[in-house]
């Protein structure tokens, strides 16, 4: 059973993830059966970072489960500035049944979870993006009919997306390969935790500076933008440093013959991925985007349905 909050996939068990995926599949197939699952419940949605998929999928998900969502931007509340994060967590806990936060600092979500008495869901931080990674593995299970012993290759920046995919692999019995340019490796603590998880699960975790090595035989080839939100000033340097790291059809040809292409979006065609890959027959990027709705509904129903 899930803990009170969903902050990191590292905190979940393989059984937790399997239960979420089973519920998400039922919700996707038979949405009418869950229209009152969160009747009368309210989700506070805190956004320090703007978003299309996160805002709409969580908002729509709450509505489809019979509840309501309140959008709180950085202009609406003084999170950590006009009021301590702990106080915000305590106050919101008196008003709502759950909190979803999309923030810059990972510590913000940790503090919200520590002080809130209602469930807190990590909608994204600079360190982790658990809801997206869970969605990606759920989508992978749909496409291949299983997860065990498959391989996912991530090509690009060792960012929050890479971190959560690293954490997700062992929970899903998936082998993970992460290829980054030198100087853009994943966080050392996350890497150590993910290696320990992989050792316990019997899965492989490869970190390399060779995108060709990572992609070889992979069932999923995954990439993300080279400069994440908040790194716009680094964009020119990153474009230079990531030269030659575009996911092309030539690179995809090294993957498994049935391999699919994934991207968490938004995608910059011509930078991290070639347009013919992003919009090609192997791309499942919009299936991923849809599945954010179903997986997050399963998360919300599991956490908030207990109250």
Active-site positions read 102, 129, 132, 224, 264, 292
Contact partners, residue 297, CB within 8 Å, separation at least 6: 24, 27, 34, 61, 64, 65
Query: Of 163, 141, 71, which is closest to residue 294 (Cα–Cα)?
Result: 141
CB 173 within 8 A of CB 148: yes
State the Cα–Cα distance between residues 219 and 101, nearest whole angstrom.
32
State the Cα–Cα distance between residues 150 and 176, nearest whole angstrom.
9
């Amino acid at each position: 059973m899930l803990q009170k909050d969903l902050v990191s996939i590292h905190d979940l068990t393989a059984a937790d993830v399997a239960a979420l995926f089973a519920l998400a599949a039922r919700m996707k197939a038979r949405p009418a059966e869950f229209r009152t699952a969160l009747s009368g419940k309210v989700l506070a949605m805190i956004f320090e970072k703007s978003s299309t998929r996160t805002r709409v999928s969580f908002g729509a998900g709450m509505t489809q489960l019979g509840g309501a969502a309140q959008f709180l931007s950085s202009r609406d509340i003084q999170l950590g500035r006009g009021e301590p994060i702990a106080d915000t967590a305590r106050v919101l806990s008196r008003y709502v049944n759950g909190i979803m936060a999309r923030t810059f600092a990972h510590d913000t979500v940790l503090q919200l979870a520590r002080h809130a008495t209602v469930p807190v869901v990590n909608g994204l931080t600079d360190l982790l993006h658990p809801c997206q990674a869970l969605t990606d593995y759920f989508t992978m299970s749909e496409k291949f009919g299983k997860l065990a012993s498959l391989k996912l290759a991530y090509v690009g920046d060792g960012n929050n997306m890479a971190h959560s995919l690293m954490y997700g692999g062992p929970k899903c019995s998936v082998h993970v390969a992460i290829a980054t340019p030198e100087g853009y490796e994943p966080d050392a603590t996350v890497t150590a935790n993910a290696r320990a998880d992989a050792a316990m699960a019997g899965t492989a975790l490869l970190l390399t500076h060779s995108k060709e090595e990572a992609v070889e035989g992979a069932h999923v080839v995954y990439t993300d933008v080279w400069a994440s939100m908040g790194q716009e000033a680094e964009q020119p340097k990153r474009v230079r440093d990531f030269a030659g790291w575009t996911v092309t059809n030539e690179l995809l040809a090294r993957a498994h013959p049935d391999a699919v292409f994934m991207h968490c979006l938004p995608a910059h065609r011509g930078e991290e991925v070639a347009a013919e890959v992003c919009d090609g027959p192997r791309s499942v990027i919009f299936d991923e985007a849809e599945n954010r709705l179903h997986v997050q509904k399963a998360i919300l129903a599991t956490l908030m349905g207990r109250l």
